[in-house]
Amino acid sequence: MATSPHTTTQRVATNTAEEQDWCAEYTARKISKEDLQRSFSEQFETAEMEVPDLAVQVDVFDGFCSACRYMFDNWPSTHPEVPANNIGKDVSITGSNNSTHVEPKLLRGAKGERGVVIPWLADTANLKCATKQGCRSCAFILQCIVEERLLASYRAIEKRLKAVGKPATLTLVSMKWWEGGSQFLRLSFPGKGFETLQQTSDQYVEICSGPGKSLTTWDERPRYATLSHRWGGRKALCLSHSNMSTLEFGIPADTLSQTFKDAIMIARRAELLYLWIDSLCIIQGDAEDWSTEAGRMSSVYGGSSLNISASSASHESEGCFLRPEYFSGGFSADITIDGRKERHDFARSSLYAKSVTLSKLASRGWVVQEKILSPRTVHCGEDGLFWECKTTMASEFFPGGFRHGPFLGGVEFPLVRRRSSSDLGRRGTLRESWERTRSWYSGCDLTVPGDKLVAIAGVARAMHEEAGDRYYAGLWRAEMENELCWFSEDPRQLPAYRAPSWSWAAVDGRVGQYHKHGSLDKIYASVVSVDVTTKSDPFGAVSGGSISLRCAGMLSACVRRRHEKPSRNDIGESRELAVVLGTNHVFSFNPDCLDQGNGADNLATVFFLPVQGGDHFPTARDGKRRSSACKSVTGLVLCETGLKRGQYRRFGAFNIDPLWDDRSTYDSFMRLMDELGAQVLKQRCMFCMIASSR
């Protein structure tokens, strides 16, 4: 019986006919990356993991082997002028030596994109050999295979194909959607070329390419560096009252962790004489000193010359320099297309996000403001060194910088960076920046959950200094109606009190915003007053707070749970259902927490309070922006505190939008508001106060 590519326990077959059957099936059927990863047991993978060194000497000149240099010198264009009926046929590409290289072939995708098979062939043994001898292109392609956890599977398949005389080479195809746009490279599985561009993304390894660009005080503050790092590991040296006088005379090098030693070396290479490290510059165990220093983070990081970020280290003993030997984070090369030379950058589409915003360090809540506030940062990790300032992003593989776009993974934080002076007074730009920052920060971890507002206070202070807006427990007064309409993307258990129920800082997990600022023009509930009691820093921890709203009306409803856990809808939000009292109308909402104190099952009534609505032009599920306006209404779900008439606490939020719901749902909600909204409000109160208690 032939061995299926899906078999979980593999053996090296001795029957040639069986191997021939396996190869025929492998070549003919569509195989996904998951199939390849499951195709070989751990025992077989271990045997095939080591790629043997080839005895031949690879000709590497100026960073590239002869095969890659030929590829760059004969890079085919997608030939947009070629008739559609020629797509998929072998086409002679001007300037290429097709007698010794794969025949280029033009391809077409489902959405009109065009591509071409590149004159390049190799296998993993060739890639490793060329990598060890200095080819940057082969090193990068091999690294892409390793990152997809496919190297063992590739090696095993190559061995089986070669055993029966079948080709086991890898193929590259280049494609683009529009003239002048970025090109995307796809790497085939061993022995499987490209007959079409319509393979799904799990049937190849994707690579992106695009055109690149040709402990004391001082009378006068010195230039200094700061360190962002993860605590943990062995007992690290910390500043305390007991050792302060000793450390002022000097810190023995053998008492420092590897991360601290590496950071000192980097600071010295940058010609900086001083380094600020939180565990050595804040007295540990002293709540008063910690509170004072925590309020200074905006000036500490904002006033530094350089922030050193140990991005990949899980704890202090691992250090900053963790890039493995032969790792490649991409490269730049001159390629020739139709006789015209162009400079291109080759990198994974997740390059920046994986190395910076999705690194181990980036999951630490305090790091968000450390990254945003610092004027320049060098990120040290498994993917090499990255550095960025207010105008440039670069890496050791792209020292001249790389442009925005696919290399950045769609991530940018222009709150305190990459802005011209004309942007500083534009409230909209700052508001959008704050929403992105809040989304990232709310999904991070905090060792002390009570630091939720404290750990972002530096960013809030910087934004206040630029925009002049008033700040209340994580929300801004100028557009507080929109600010109130946040929702919990990942509801968790109700934490201990640290913010009023109407603040996103009151819950754990990532929060989102239904609509961008200014996208809805109707206000159904306006903020009359806000009262927040802070502990010391006006941008830090709070001990209480309430907000009063003037409302047009609200609907009373009963929560109806269908499952123990909230269900998931199309856009990844957790939803629960509520039935409007006296009717059979059911509306969904996003709960703030999984456990709401007394439990939702025991709540007799909740209230749907519309806050804002109107026409907007949303982005549909297919990623396209609608050309016609769509009506929406969004607001809060409240429950009574039982302490005072008209006093509520927040329970969740809702958004009724014909893009995601039936149009009849929006119409029904607005009709019920007209019929019952004012009556329910009059019965309960004329004003609505959302109190601090949960």
Highest mean pLDDT among 40-49, 314-323, 547-556, 567-576: 547-556
* Residue scoring higher pLDDT (55 or 161): 161
**What's the Cα-to-Cα distance from 342 to each of 62, 211, 336, 529, rounded to whole Å?**
17, 7, 6, 60
CA–CA gap between residue 610 and residue 655 (Å, rounded): 9
pLDDT at residue number 210: 44
Over 80: is that where the pLDDT of 402 sits? no
More confident residue, 390 or 692: 390
With a cut of 70, say whether residue 135 has pLDDT above it.
yes
Pairing of strands 60-61, 64-65: antiparallel
pLDDT above 90 (res 498): yes
Range name among 25-29, 120-124, 395-399 with the lowest pLDDT average:
25-29
* 442 band by pLDDT with thresholds 50, 70 and 90: very high
Contact 528, 631 (CB under 8 A): no
Map tokens 């929560």 to a residue: 559
Residue 63 in this model has a pLDDT that exceeds 80? yes
Place of tokens 């009063």: 548
Residue 287 pLDDT more than 60?
yes
Mean pLDDT for 574-591 is 85
pLDDT over 80 at 204, yes or no = no
Q: How many CB atoms lie within 10 A of CB 98?
A: 13
Mean pLDDT value across residues 666-691: 82
Q: Which range among 167-176, 296-305, 513-522 shows the weakest confidence by mean pLDDT?
A: 167-176
- Give me the pLDDT at residue 104, please: 56
Order across the sheet with 224-228: list the strands.
274-276, 224-228, 306-310, 377-381, 384-388, 393-395
Amino acid occupying residue 376: R
Residue 145 has pLDDT above 80, yes or no: yes
The mean pLDDT value for 608-630 works out to 71
pLDDT surpassing 80 at residue 617:
no
- Whole-angstrom distance, CA of residue 135 vs CA of residue 333: 12
Mean pLDDT of 250-255: 77
pLDDT band for position 545 (cuts 50, 70, 90): very high
Selection from 111-115, 443-447, 601-605 with the highest mean pLDDT: 443-447
Query: Can you give the pLDDT at residue 488?
Result: 93
Q: What value, to the nearest 5°, has the Cα angle with vertex 252 and ends 246 and 257?
A: 115
More confident residue, 222 or 361: 361
| Phi, psi torsion values for 440, nearest 5 degrees | -65, -50
Residue 197: HSE in the Cβ half-sphere, 13 Å Cα cutoff: 23
Average pLDDT, the chain: 76
Is 472's pLDDT higher than 50?
A: yes
User: Residues 416, 372: contact at Cβ < 8 Å?
Assistant: yes
Highest mean pLDDT among 131-140, 165-174, 504-513: 504-513
Q: Report, in this order, helix, strand and coil percent for the chain, each rounded to 5.
A: 30, 25, 45
Highest mean pLDDT among 44-53, 202-211, 363-372, 654-663: 363-372
| Of the candidate ranges 263-277, 284-298, 499-513, 642-656, the one whose mean pLDDT is the lowest | 284-298
Say whether 672 sits in a helix, a strand or coil: helix
| Predicted local distance difference test score (pLDDT) of residue 525 | 93
The string of pLDDT tens digits covering residues 300-317 is: 888 899 999 999 888 888
Q: DSSP code of 439?
A: H
What's the mean pLDDT in 520-535? Answer: 91
Query: Which residues partner with 634 through β-bridges?
Result: 612, 655
Better-predicted residue by pLDDT, 206 or 676: 676
CA count, 13 A, side-chain hemisphere, 3: 20
In angstroms, the CA 397 to CA 459 distance is 31
Winning range, highest mean pLDDT, from 495-504, 510-519, 553-562, 629-638 = 495-504
pLDDT given at position 563? 41
Most confident of 360-374, 499-513, 625-639: 499-513
